[in-house]
Amino acid sequence: MEIPCAYRFLNIKINQFAYFDENFDRQNHELNIARSYSYGIDANTGHFQCVMSLTYTQNEKPVMKIETEAVYQLTDEVMERLINDNMFQMPPQTVRYFTSMLYGATRGMLVCKLEGTPLVNIILPPDNLESTIDRPLVIPINEES
């Protein structure tokens, strides 16, 4: 399936942000980065939700945590193609497309949020989602959805 052109951005926001200055060793700028993604669909409205959680750690202590969320409105035509047998199934390249938009936005949000902190010069590196998202996204659709 091709990446759907029939969508629009409904919302993008920061759900959570925390910076722990006391956990950052200024002599050592090496950080571990952990990220995860989660998804949701409202079959009635066509709202596709993508959530990204990102944590910087150093010496196993959190230095920064951010959770961002984007909601996209998929058209009825796209929804018809993605729902079969009460299952929402999105091909990996389409999942990567939506996730990469949120990832890029999160990179920009972090630049703004970390301004004035010692982490200001630590830019979240680009991520090739090709290896991270390599399977279709499958979400069961409830009877009420």
In this predicted structure, what is the pLDDT of residue 144?
55
Please report the pLDDT score of residue 105 as a whole number. 96
- Predicted pLDDT of residue 13: 97
- Give yes or no for a contact between 17 and 65, defined as CB atoms under 8 angstroms apart: yes
Confidence (pLDDT) at 134: 93
The residue type of 141 is I
Task: Identify the structural domains of the chain with CATH numbers, from first to last.
Answer: 7-122 (3.10.420.10)
Cα–Cα nearest to 43, from 6, 87, 4 = 87
d(CA 10, CA 19): 28
What is the model's pLDDT at position 126?
A: 86
pTM equals 0.90
Residue-level pLDDT at 145: 43
Query: Going residue by residue through the chain (145 aa), what tens digit of pLDDT does each one get?
Result: 456 568 999 999 999 999 999 999 988 878 999 999 999 999 999 999 999 999 999 999 999 999 999 999 999 999 999 999 999 999 999 999 999 999 999 999 999 999 999 888 888 888 889 989 999 999 999 765 4
Q: How many residues would you count in the chain?
A: 145
Nearest C-alpha neighbor of 40 from the set 74, 84, 5 = 74
Residue ranges of E strands in the chain: 7-19, 32-42, 47-58, 61-74, 83-84, 87-90, 137-140
